Structure 1
Amino acid sequence: MKRIRFQQGSLRLYERAAGDQVWEYRWYETQLDGTRRRRSCIIGSRHEYPTDALAQKAVVALRASINAETPRAQIDAISFSTLTQHYREKELCEGGNKTFATIRTNEGYLERWILPRWSSYRLKDVKAVIVEEWLKSLPLANGSKAKIRNLMHAIFNHAIRWEWHDKNPITHVRQSAKRQRVPLVLNIEQLKSLLEYLKEPGKTAVLLDILTGLRVSELLALKWSDVDFENLELHVTRSISLQRVGPCKTEASQKPVPLDPELAEVLLLWRRRSPYPMDDDWVFASPASKGELPYWSYSLFRVYIRPALKAAGITGKVGWHTFRHSFATILKSHGEDVKTVQELLRHANSSVTMNLYAQAVTDIKRSAQSKVARLVFEPKKGNSE
């Protein structure tokens, strides 16, 4: 019996009557009567793909799709590289259900860590124990290793969905995401000292972050129309990363956030001072872009926050996420239950207990946030003013 193989097809460069050179991909398609018919399609021009290597890369996903309905024996030769390219084209594409930041992060993991090790492997040769040992050897934090493990798991799920593989070996790969070091958090006195040295708009941005726990991608994506001064709520409807606006990280992220009355007053004062106070303007619009975009997160941190940290004598690895961690830690240290903290931070949680909590801003969440606000707005110890 003749062995059935995974169809590779062929690629050629030819000149059309118009004089332009194009890449053509050719393959055979089996008809209902069992005969084979040659098929072809234009991949692109030589201008788009100047080398054979680039043209070959462009047909990887197409080749995988052509083989999607072939018998099991015909796809045994599919490599992890081929699968990954198809996953990229179908799942890591703009306009899909993943944010730009997620796409960029996953692409980084693929290029830096996953593909150099696994690209040449056939799918059936990727084994859980080998992957687990490889993850242990990587000079990365547990959180990053867990993300790599989860990305590989998603890629194999993609293979199962397209019926190129019948099981996911990564399911049995054990990898903890537990932090090896406790993240730095700032206490109330440190936060107050920092606020004393901050200038606008850094001061309002940090204060808003401290009292809401927003991710920086959500904080800088706020528009004035998202601030409901009447009902004292923030509506988080988008995020921004590398100046690209996209959806929020999770569905839970879009829950309304309570706005403390004193914090609302601070925002009103900033709106009056801001040259961009219209409803459709960014809350932290950048003058460099004439208000068309908000500040870059690293620029805002470098220009306003880092000098204030130094002046306040605060050392250690402080970043935007430190304020979110600090918010959660202060809440918990003042007796708030874990469920309330999870609601305020808008973490996705599928447990039955957490599903009992409504998406609306509840009195308990508002009261919890206001406790932190009282502590921040309270005069520093020893300050007579």
Structure 2
Amino acid sequence: MRQSRRRAQQPEILEPAEIAEILRELRGIEPVRTAFLIAAVMGMRRGEIFGLQWGDVDFDRGILHVRRSYVDGVKGLPKTESSRRPLPIPEPALEALKEWKEKASYTGANDWVFASGVSFGKQPYWPGTLWRRNVAPAIERAKIVKPKLGWHTLRRSYASLLLSSGVSLRVSMELMRHSTAEMTLATYAQTVGSEKRDAGSMIASLVLGNEVATS
């Protein structure tokens, strides 16, 4: 019989104060800070973040459409059908996107939000490269010592914050865009409702409130 193996070590998560400190260290380093902020307060997968195009961002309604993923130079669909549902954009992330768009060189509807100048906008930045060159040094400057941190750490941290903040399981699953249990799938809301928007804004406030407090 095959026996399940327990993880030798639980994956690391970042606390709100730690995320805020990293964001403080990333001030002025764009578009890395904006990408990091989106990952922290929206819990998106890295392929979804770097697969964003400006046409996916509805600035007027504060909604993000997740239409593709970009992983290791390959453009494809998001991981699951539920992953393609729209997300409310917390106000701090929306403002960061607006500010980045004003500075960016490639801002057409079909341009990558995080277009790389090296490829003349034809490809987005490589998330692993940005992490090594910018985020990892910011973590070191913030004196945060935790092993094996990466973009997915922010998604796990977001999920932990949702659950610890008392957000309902239905809303948490919707914001994380998981498709695991039939009972959960049956309760999915098809639109971006106020409950999800409030939950997303609460996570952003937790993170950004700590950033302000440590300034």
Q: State the TM-score, normalized to the length of structure 1.
A: 0.53
- For 1:251-290, list aligned pairs within 5 A: 251-290=81-120
- Residue by residue, what CA displacement relative to the aligned partner does 1:295-317 show, whole Å, maximum 9, x if unpaired? 11211111111111111111222
Q: Which amino acid aligns with 1:283?
A: V
Q: Which of residues 7, 20, 42 is equivalent to 1:192?
A: 20
Quick check: 2:20–2:207 contact (8 Å CA) kept in 1? yes
Q: Does structure 1 residue 328 correspond to structure 2 residue 159? A: yes
CA distance 1:365–1:221, change in 2 (3 Å): same
Q: Does structure 1 residue 299 correspond to structure 2 residue 102? A: no
Q: Which of residues 311, 322, 325 is equivalent to 2:141?
A: 311
Identity among equivalent positions (%) equals 38
Aligned residues: 212
> How far apart in 2 are the matches of 1:373 and 1:178?
33
CA distance 1:219–1:178, change in 2 (3 Å): farther
Q: Which of residues 209, 213, 218 is equivalent to 2:39?
A: 209
Structure-1 residue corresponding to 2:203? 372
- Residue by residue, what CA displacement relative to the aligned partner does 1:30-75 show, whole Å, maximum 9, x if unpaired? xxxxxxxxxxxxxxxxxxxxxxxxxxxxxxxxxxxxxxxxxxxxxx
Looking at secondary structure, tell me which structure has more strand per residue.
1
Q: Which amino acid aligns with 2:108?
A: M
Q: Which of residues 156, 159, 183 is equivalent to 2:11?
A: 183
Shift of 1:236: 0.5
> How far apart in 2 are the matches of 1:344 and 1:353?
12
Structure-1 residue corresponding to 2:68? 238
> How far apart in 1 are the matches of 2:210 and 2:199?
20
Shift of 1:356: 2.2
- For 1:105-254, list aligned pairs within 5 A: 129=1, 132=2, 176=4, 179-198=7-26, 199-254=29-84
> How far apart in 2 are the matches of 1:362 and 1:179?
36
User: Which ranges of structure 1 fall in alignment gaps of 5 or more residues?
Assistant: 1-128, 133-174
> How far apart in 1 are the matches of 2:5 and 2:83?
21
Structure-1 residue corresponding to 2:179? 348
Q: Does structure 1 residue 339 correspond to structure 2 residue 173? A: no
Shift of 1:373: 1.1
CA distance 1:371–1:177, change in 2 (3 Å): farther
Q: State the TM-score, normalized to the length of structure 2.
A: 0.92
CA distance 1:351–1:203, change in 2 (3 Å): same
> How far apart in 2 are the matches of 1:379 and 1:249?
32
Higher relative contact order (CA 8 A, sep 6+): 2
Structure number, greater radius of gyration: 1
Q: Which amino acid aligns with 1:291?
A: G
SS in structure 2 at match of 1:378: helix
CA distance 1:177–1:281, change in 2 (3 Å): farther
User: Which ranges of structure 2 fall in alignment gaps of 5 or more residues?
Assistant: none
> How far apart in 2 are the matches of 1:382 and 1:209?
21
Q: Which amino acid aligns with 2:58?
A: D
